[in-house]
């Protein structure tokens, strides 16, 4: 059975002018797309199957990410259902020159594992084997219920 820490994925996108809105900050739709892609990677790593997006919880855009900064997206599986894989996603604005990070966006996505015929298949059970994994899972569940 896959463990939570094995699903943890971090990805970065350099914010270019073509990603920006008229305020020279990243367009929210780009952030959502990147989060969906990284979340699907975590879900597929976990399930060993292709995963499709079934639901997106509210998207909270707390701070902008400016052209020239990097969007750091973190994803991990924190829970499962019969065929569903629940992923927590957080995005940070990161200045690669200084290492400064600022939390900008958060959401929870639900993916469904499917087989080659695009039929939902059972998701495996999630195991949590480390203290860090337990902390991440508890944080996800607590923050989701706030």
Say if residues 111 and 40 touch (Cβ distance below 8 Å).
yes
Whichever domain contains 115, its CATH number is: 3.10.129.10
- Domain around 43: 4-145
Q: What is the pLDDT along the chain (146 residues), one digit of tens a residue?
A: 789 999 999 999 999 999 999 999 999 999 999 999 999 999 999 999 999 999 999 898 999 999 999 999 999 999 999 999 999 999 999 998 999 999 999 999 999 999 999 999 999 999 999 999 999 999 999 888 76
Residue (of 79, 69, 134) closest to 111 by Cα position: 79
> In the prediction, which pLDDT does 144 show?
81
Q: What is the pLDDT of residue 49?
A: 95
Domains contained in the chain, number:
1
Check residue 12 and give its pLDDT: 97
Q: What is the pLDDT of residue 143?
A: 85
- CA angle, 29 as apex, 28 and 35 as ends, to 5°? 90
CA gap 6, 104 in Å, rounded: 24
């Amino acid at each position: 059975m896959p463990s939570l820490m094995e699903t943890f994925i971090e990805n970065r996108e350099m914010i270019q002018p073509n990603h920006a809105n008229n305020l020279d900050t990243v367009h929210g739709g780009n952030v959502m797309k990147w989060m969906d892609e990284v979340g699907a990677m975590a879900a597929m790593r976990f399930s060993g199957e292709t995963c499709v997006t079934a639901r997106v919880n509210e998207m909270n855009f707390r701070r902008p990410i400016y052209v020239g900064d990097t969007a750091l997206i973190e994803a991990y599986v924190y829970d499962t259902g019969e065929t569903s894989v629940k992923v927590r996603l957080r995005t940070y604005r990161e200045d690669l020159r200084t290492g400064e990070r600022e939390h900008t966006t958060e959401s929870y996505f639900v993916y469904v594992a499917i087989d080659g015929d695009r039929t939902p298949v059972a998701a495996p059970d999630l195991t949590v084997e480390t203290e860090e994994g337990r902390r991440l899972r508890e944080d996800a569940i607590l923050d989701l219920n706030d």
